[in-house]
Structure 1
């Protein structure tokens, strides 16, 4: 309808920023996209980007939207921002960046962090948390910033997520969404608030309470678009900006992941599997459930670090032919990768990949490395590519098994989003490896839709998130598992994949001791 209200969703991702308009029924009406350079590296393992760089491209994306669709701006009734998570930025007393933002891909560490009282160290050891505590203290951006850049840290009056910084530039108010708090910050995930005084996190981290922003729940207002932001972005001045949350949280919401029997898979740079829950359920002991993009709800998440990053790695190292073909045809190289899947059978003729190129804190373990076993003279690039896709699905199926056990509820539905979900072949592989139907939602822009759902609820278009999800998220193509192929994958998963880590982890430890890589 020509006069139907629209919701503006701004999605500040790792690879691009997108400004999108969604209808009350969840249809993507218009979109403008600005590709960005994810980060620059002054030294190995650094990943940084300037705050004004993000703001500049956010403005260009919004202005591009109005230029392409000038008649739609007057129909916009509310806006929401979703953002890449765990990207931190230091601001001075005038709310200006002290230094570039630290992108979530940055892998710096420090061994110079605040000492803990002996009784806290003893308690962490007794609870089996010593390694987790070491990971927190060594990886936390605030700790290595204080150690390596003490003058910058002394000037830092506000230490916030990129989402808070962009919200401030949009509204003039420094606030952030509860569901954006993912990272090494003193956040109480169960209470969904900053940690109480006396919490161990305040002792383990250098950040202080006054450096952290006020938090609001999803669909609550972050402020209204300021005059300066309106001039920069073209968004109508005074338009309310509602809290949404991190991109993964919004993606899970858009996929209908508000119950523990629905698993949401994201085939993104980081591959994840999530279940939504009204109660707090840690996906693994000592790993928190993150705040959902629904007030006072939680997402239990298993992460495969560097998930679909491996597709980019394959493209860079092994797919020069497809890259050349794609340039000649004017299409993305990934579209040609389905031909590699067609050229290789299920199971990759015995080639099995363990996708732990970048190990996590608990899953699979700190010593893990990637592995491919079963090589023979029959194997080609096509088999290697298929083994990457299958290995990611195996790892996510393992995550599904863990979530079922922790939630005490069987997962009966799979919703799939992210770049990999665009491939029919990958969707079919997912259904076959999980032995469950796999569904897309109706739009590829899942994170944007999740933000739009929060704008719709915040503006009063829907009374609650469940009603909004029912009205705005629709089923797309459904892929049923093939019984014979699912049986083959089930055997490979149980008899090979699940045994790989225990068999190989002693070798990983030896590799690390001999080569001193990776460093921990």
Structure 2
């Protein structure tokens, strides 16, 4: 058995698979976000660990024999989170997350100090990355900054508790701006530019490498053996790719989770920071990927449902689909948490345009679904401009449960999309596969197989044509408002 743990933004997810990649038990423990000031986003690392314990306890309750047979554990997690530990290895403050926008000015300072950083780090300097957050802390919380002994990423904080090891791997380190992507090593210049030294960062491994052994007291708690291996794991985008077999050049997928991404695997390092793409190391050796990153995805639907008092999202989507006759006459900019690709604007916010006294909730929700699809189409254009294409992306994440939404995305993007069996498993499944690789040292391509395709959804060309003017208007509205989002 192989256990995958994903430290997400909305939940910690744990999933147990067997040698045939069949799921034997799974559990989700919800997490909450804190936003103490505008554009801030934080979580307490201790909440991640508490949720991890509860999730694995739940697996043990579901299937004690299977959890006892666990031989390896893989880790996945939300990327970029600055998790700061003191001399006692306890958090000094809440972690600053991927969708936090406070460090925009610090990005400009980092670019001025290191003009070539984008080409070495694989991405333009953005406030959600880890490095500018540390510059912000040095300026605004200097006493705390002076106490930092270790900087970890979210999943690696869980590793510390599981095995006592301080390590990270290439795909998650890629999101810090401190990794030299091509050489797969720490960039000492970028680290020094943040007022840090190499000793404050964990050791680097590949995602399929072992990093340690599960602590004896935890093995005893769950009835496991004494030699359960902990794998390097990966950032959630990379583990999502591992889970759907996106490891060969040109393989790709669209993730519809809390945020959303378009991910395409690559056989070499291809930086395109000018297109606001992420060109990062993959979670397995000698592999890379390019990715368009959007800070908003299925979370927009959850937000709209909550705002409208809708508790059954499935029933809501059925009603929206039943009344869908044409593009909504309301447009929605889905930038509730700012945006990366293609705008790099942490201050952008959501907008409904075209509301009238006759606007109903189904119309508004259709506009939300279309807005996310427009944003994906906008991001796809940046990948195409970089010469990156994927013939048949799969769709994964919570939003993949809705066939209607996938058809809508296909229609707007003009791209065939695949629905995979078990597509909602996501990064935890990929993490479990990395656990297996760390234990067995099998060939990556043998373990990281693509899921069976449940259905290929082709774009409706008439609908695609009808959406073209709406998409153009969507882009014009953002352009008209972009300066207005900047805080006074």
Q: Secondary structure at the match of 1:348?
A: coil
- Structure 1 residue 250 displacement after superposition: 0.7
Given the superposition, is the C-alpha separation of residues 476 and 518 from structure 1 closer, same or farther in structure 2, using an over 3 Å criterion? Answer: farther
Give the TM-score of the pair, scaled to structure 1: 0.83
Q: Distance in 1 between matches of 2:132 and 2:224?
A: 35
Aligned equivalent of 1:436, options 406, 415, 435: 415
- Structure 1 residue 219 displacement after superposition: 0.8
Q: Distance in 1 between matches of 2:108 and 2:350?
A: 33
Given the superposition, is the C-alpha separation of residues 393 and 153 from structure 1 closer, same or farther in structure 2, using an over 3 Å criterion? Answer: same
Q: Distance in 1 between matches of 2:481 and 2:97?
A: 32
- Structure 1 residue 186 displacement after superposition: 1.7
> Any idea what the Cα deviations from partners look like across 1:425-470, whole Å, max 9, x if unmatched?
112222323333322322221212111221222222x622211122
Greater RCO (Cα-Cα under 8 Å, separation 6 or more): 2
Q: Confirm or deny that 1:140 pairs with 2:132.
A: yes
Instruction: Trace 1:52-451 onto structure 2 (pairs within 5 A).
Output: 52-109=46-103, 120=113, 135=127, 140-195=132-187, 197=188, 199=189, 201-202=190-191, 204-231=193-220, 235-285=224-274, 287-318=277-308, 320=309, 322-323=310-311, 333-345=312-324, 347-361=326-340, 363-366=342-345, 369-375=349-355, 379-408=359-388, 410-443=389-422, 444-451=424-431
Q: Distance in 2 between matches of 1:230 and 1:299?
A: 35
Q: Distance in 2 between matches of 1:45 and 1:435?
A: 34
Q: Secondary structure at the match of 1:71?
A: helix
How many pairs align?
482
Equivalent residue, structure 1, for 2:41: 47
Equivalent residue, structure 1, for 2:462: 487
Query: Residues 76 and 233 of structure 2 are in contact (CA less than 8 Å); yes or no, is this contact kept in structure 1?
Result: yes
Q: Secondary structure at the match of 2:386?
A: helix
Aligned equivalent of 1:22, options 17, 33, 49: 17
Given the superposition, is the C-alpha separation of residues 157 and 236 from structure 1 closer, same or farther in structure 2, using an over 3 Å criterion? Answer: same
Query: Residues 454 and 465 of structure 1 are in contact (CA less than 8 Å); yes or no, is this contact kept in structure 2?
Result: no
Q: Distance in 2 between matches of 1:17 and 1:504?
A: 34
Equivalent residue, structure 1, for 2:442: 463
Q: Distance in 2 between matches of 1:369 and 1:107?
A: 12
Query: Residues 251 and 390 of structure 2 are in contact (CA less than 8 Å); yes or no, is this contact kept in structure 1?
Result: yes
Q: Distance in 2 between matches of 1:63 and 1:312?
A: 27
Equivalent residue, structure 1, for 2:451: 474
Q: Secondary structure at the match of 1:72?
A: helix
Given the superposition, is the C-alpha separation of residues 52 and 62 from structure 1 closer, same or farther in structure 2, using an over 3 Å criterion? Answer: same
Where structure 1 has 5 or more consecutive residues not aligned to the other structure, the ranges are: 1-5, 324-332
Tell me whether 284-293 or 413-422 shows the greater mean CA deviation: 284-293
Q: Distance in 1 between matches of 2:319 and 2:131?
A: 38
Q: Specify the structure having the higher radius of gyration (Cα).
A: 1
Given the superposition, is the C-alpha separation of residues 181 and 385 from structure 1 closer, same or farther in structure 2, using an over 3 Å criterion? Answer: same
Given the superposition, is the C-alpha separation of residues 284 and 387 from structure 1 closer, same or farther in structure 2, using an over 3 Å criterion? Answer: farther
- RMSD across aligned positions (CA): 3.2
Q: Confirm or deny that 1:508 pairs with 2:482.
A: yes
> Any idea what the Cα deviations from partners look like across 1:235-258, whole Å, max 9, x if unmatched?
433211111201121112212222
Q: Distance in 2 between matches of 1:309 and 1:194?
A: 33
Query: Residues 4 and 74 of structure 2 are in contact (CA less than 8 Å); yes or no, is this contact kept in structure 1?
Result: yes
> Any idea what the Cα deviations from partners look like across 1:293-351, whole Å, max 9, x if unmatched?
22231221112222222112212222x2x33xxxxxxxxx2112212322332543443
- Structure 1 residue 145 displacement after superposition: 1.8
Give the TM-score of the pair, scaled to structure 2: 0.88
Q: Distance in 2 between matches of 1:34 and 1:98?
A: 24
Q: Secondary structure at the match of 2:271?
A: coil
